[in-house]
Amino acid sequence: MPAKDRTLAVDLGGVTLPTPAMIAAGCAGGGRELAGLVDLHRVGGLVSRTITVHPRPGASTPRIAESPSGVVWNTGLQNAGIDAFVADELPRLARAGAPTFVSIGGGTLEEYVRLTSALQARPEVAAIEVYLSGRDETMDHEILGAHVERLVEIVGAVARTSLVPVFAKLPGGVADVVTLARSAVRAGATGLTLSGSPPALAVELGTLRPALGDVTGWLSGPALKPLTLRTIFEVSVAMPHVPLIASGGIRTGSDAVECLLAGAWAVQIGTGSLVDPAAPVEVARGIAASLKALGLRAPGDLRGRLRLPAVPDRAAGA
């Protein structure tokens, strides 16, 4: 394989990324902060913080605490609201140099539709990522995206309204992820981000208090890697042609290659970017090295190539 034929670019159902290593939602700042810390032209893409219709002041502090190989966080989705976002942050994000996914979140169908409409006319938006881990205000569900009917309704409406590809970011810590994934794709999602952070709690023993100001939060970081791999594996086996973006516990090139082997098309780096803002570039480099070592041409050649035993459960035959 001559080096010149090798590429890191990936096509996620219509949106092309220069590399498969993106920065996850809520971990990319507002477009200015990363300058000088990473060359955003060498980052596969970035996802905005989750934007809501109205401005949100966000959660009480502390908003982040550590857990074994992880962080528990709750920003309360602080953001300036869609209008301010479109006016100020979006152009800055897009100018930074990487394909821009906009994460949208709400509690009702109407909010999602309004958010999508507001982004319709914006050429800066490479894709929409639908945040689905929030509370369903209409149905009073704890986690909106864990319920098939609501997932279908909301993802469907966003997909119908959007002019760009739509990625449904399924909530973390849910069973039957294949069913949810299938439903989201049937409803019109171009692809899936797997997964959001699962619900978590950290306790500060010294004060007998929750470690976070808003009590509960979500788990991110390396601890999640085996959960992410499992989800990607199951969904990719069920739907090998649907672009899957892995999120949760990815920080190094090896982590990313493991995800690609399990079936991911691209990966997002969240906590890893907070620790090492150049992580997405290093991850891309790691993927390139793997391609070279294995004599492969493109990230897609690694996808789903996990070598399985010929008889998945040999013991069953005993």
Ligand X SMILES: Cc1cc2nc3c(=O)[nH]c(=O)nc-3n(C[C@H](O)[C@H](O)[C@H](O)COP(=O)(O)O)c2cc1C
Residues that bind a second copy in the complex, under the rule CB under 8 A = 57-60, 67-70, 72, 76, 142-143, 146, 171, 173-176, 178, 198-203, 205, 207-210, 213-216, 219, 221-227, 229-230, 233-234, 249, 254, 257-258, 261-262, 305-309, 312-315, 318
To other proteins, the closest distance from the beta carbon of 43 in angstroms equals 13
- Asked if 300 touches other proteins (CB under 8 A), the answer is no
Note whether 268 binds other proteins by CB under 8 A.
no
Residue 313 binds which of other proteins, a second copy, ligand X, none (CB < 5-8 A, kind-dependent): a second copy
Helix (H, G, I), strand (E, B) or coil at 311: coil
Q: Are 106 and 112 in contact (CB under 8 A)?
A: yes
The residue ranges of DSSP E strands in 62-220, in sequence order, are: 64-67, 70-73, 100-104, 125-131, 166-170, 191-194, 199-201, 203-204, 209-210, 216-220
Q: In residues, how long is the chain? A: 318
Based on its alpha-carbon atoms, the radius of gyration of the chain, rounded to whole angstroms, reads 19
To the nearest 10°, report the CA torsion of 162, 234, 301, 43.
50
Q: Residue for token digits 């989800």? A: 231
Burial 96-124 (b: 16+ CB within 10 A, else e): bbbbbbbbbbbbebebbbbbbebbeebee
Q: Which is nearer to ligand X, 161 or 247 (CB)?
A: 247
Question: Does 205 sit near other proteins (CB under 8 A)?
Answer: no
3 binds other proteins (CB under 8 A): no
Q: Which does 197 bind (CB under 5 to 8 A by kind): a second copy, ligand X, other proteins, none?
A: ligand X
Near other proteins by CB under 8 A: residue from 33, 137, 142, 176: 33
The token duo for 10 is 């990936």
- What are 156's two structure tokens? 């469907």
Smallest gap from Cβ 24 to ligand X, in A, equals 3
Q: Is 295 in the site for other proteins (CB under 8 A)?
A: no
For residue 294, state whether it binds other proteins (rule: CB under 8 A).
no
47 binding other proteins? (CB under 8 A): no
Is the CB of 197 or the CB of 236 nearer to ligand X? 197
Burial level of 284, CB count in 10 A (0-12/13-18/19+)? buried
CB of 49 to a second copy, least distance (A): 16
x-or-dash pattern for other proteins, window 156-195, by CB under 8 A? Answer: --------------------------x--xx---------
Handedness of CA 127, 74, 80, 187 (dihedral sign): positive
CB 52 within 8 A of CB 82: yes
Q: Where does this chain bind ligand X (CB under 6 A)?
A: 24-27, 49-50, 64, 71, 73, 75, 77, 103, 131, 169, 196-197, 220-221, 224, 247-250, 269-272
108, 116 Cβ separation under 8 angstroms: no
Block residue for tokens 């989750």: 50
Give the pair of three-digit tokens for residue 233.
């594996």
Contact residues: other proteins, CB under 8 A: 26-30, 32-34, 36-37, 49, 57-58, 60-66, 68-71, 73, 75, 78, 182, 185-186, 207, 209, 213, 221-222, 237-242, 263, 271, 273-278, 304-312, 314-315, 318
